[in-house]
Structure 1
């Protein structure tokens, strides 16, 4: 009687395939619940983040406590910064999603900006010294891109409940809440659209460094947090 033998090559490929599937599933679980990787597509957050940087984003930082003024946030811009029905077709959307997932390209609906106004804040640009004021107090902004003015566009807004007023650090190159004052929602981003906080630059390697949370953020959450 002849006996059949399992071919080692087939067993090895099945093991490799199973390991790859498990790795993808575990990575997807981690990225959906705890940490994710995002690509910086523009210079709007210079000098802290440069175009082409890959950043590690914590999805849990704001679950333990509220966001604060000065915090940098990655957020879903659908319905505020991006049209609700944006898209380029199923194939291009899929390829773009894959590139975004592996950190090779930016997401069409994902943005990164700094929180300037919390719910209830009255944000004005600008006072006699050319600075932003929040609730009548001049806002110190050491993170601004060197040589940039606070804002060439004048505005006076009161942030509604559950919303955030967001601006880029490279003001002259940033399309942010200022650009959407006449749009539905007035450039205010819903708090529940915040995905997380960048905690580390992971690429390029010569810029591998932790991203500290601004000290001012911890002092403005208890009173003004959503």
Structure 2
């Protein structure tokens, strides 16, 4: 029979191994969490970001509260928005209403972290979503009835025909190079390029303002679809 001292030594070694393994488990969990957060931040920054629809300007395509997924990856490879794309962009100046300085109740704890991870939408009011109807070099014309033509071709909004349109003074502009003319799908209730015709660029926005292209409705589940 092996000496008792040998058995005791083996037991001591076994206890040490168990303690080492127990100590590694929290470190492994922390490592997995850190990796997951880092990947989420990378995806949010360079690939996909969620955006919550703030107004009725894109109805019936998008409803207030819909969460859409935005492709931020393609622009890094020189991709440019095309006619018909739904794009999210930062306010190029004067598009968004002033954000109240007094928001009432304080933000819940941890909201800043969740916002940074893209799990909670930012509420600074400076991000908008519209549909591209014309790109650099296109000529956009609007008449008093609210109809819009691009290079002479009528551009109908999505949805059933005969919907109310935004009535305004007739206009005719040529979109400068590197810029986009954008409209809301809800032509009767959208503060889009038509409202900002006097911005010095014919109401257009710069490519640099575009955050990315919206490609799918992710929430609520009843509204799941691609754009």
Report the TM-score range of the alignment, normalised by the length of the smaller protein: 0.7 to 0.9
User: Matches of 1:88 and 1:26 in 2, distance apart?
Assistant: 33
Q: Cα distance, 1:186 vs. partner? A: 4.8
User: Matches of 1:97 and 1:157 in 2, distance apart?
Assistant: 43
> Equivalent residue for 2:193?
177
User: Matches of 1:145 and 1:104 in 2, distance apart?
Assistant: 31
Contact 1:47/1:145, CA 8 A, preserved across alignment:
no
Rg larger in structure: 2
User: Which of the residues 128, 142, 165 maps onto 1:125?
Assistant: 142
Q: Tell me the secondary structure at the aligned position of residue 173 of structure 2.
A: strand
> Equivalent residue for 2:154?
139
TM-score (norm 1): 0.73
User: Matches of 1:201 and 1:86 in 2, distance apart?
Assistant: 26
Asked if residue 20 in structure 1 is aligned to residue 33 in structure 2, the reply is yes
> Equivalent residue for 1:187?
203
Q: Name whichever of 40-49 and 15-24 sits farther off.
A: 15-24
> Equivalent residue for 1:69?
83
Contact 1:80/1:185, CA 8 A, preserved across alignment:
no
TM-score (norm 2): 0.73
Q: Tell me the secondary structure at the aligned position of residue 163 of structure 2.
A: coil
User: Matches of 1:55 and 1:75 in 2, distance apart?
Assistant: 13
Contact 1:145/1:170, CA 8 A, preserved across alignment:
no
Could you say if the C-alpha distance between residues 140 and 189 of structure 1 is closer, same or farther in structure 2, counting changes exceeding 3 Å?
A: closer
User: Which of the residues 151, 169, 186 maps onto 2:166?
Assistant: 151
1:180-216 CA deviation, whole Å, 9 max, x = no partner? 23345453210122222111111111221222xxxxx
Contact 2:131/2:182, CA 8 A, preserved across alignment:
yes
User: Matches of 1:144 and 1:110 in 2, distance apart?
Assistant: 24
> Equivalent residue for 2:178?
162
Q: Cα distance, 1:107 vs. partner? A: 5.1
Q: Mind listing any 5+ residue stretches in structure 1 that lack a counterpart?
A: 212-226
Contact 1:39/1:103, CA 8 A, preserved across alignment:
no
User: Matches of 1:97 and 1:186 in 2, distance apart?
Assistant: 39
Contact 1:38/1:57, CA 8 A, preserved across alignment:
yes
Q: Cα distance, 1:13 vs. partner? A: 4.1
Q: Name whichever of 28-37 and 100-109 sits farther off.
A: 100-109
Asked if residue 79 in structure 1 is aligned to residue 93 in structure 2, the reply is yes
User: Matches of 1:209 and 1:161 in 2, distance apart?
Assistant: 32
Query: Per chain length, whose mean CA-contact separation is higher, i.e. which structure has more relative contact order (CA < 8 Å, sep 6+)?
Result: 1
Alignment of 1:40-51 (within 5 A): 40-51=53-64
User: Matches of 1:78 and 1:69 in 2, distance apart?
Assistant: 19
Q: Cα distance, 1:106 vs. partner? A: 4.9
Q: Cα distance, 1:144 vs. partner? A: 4.8
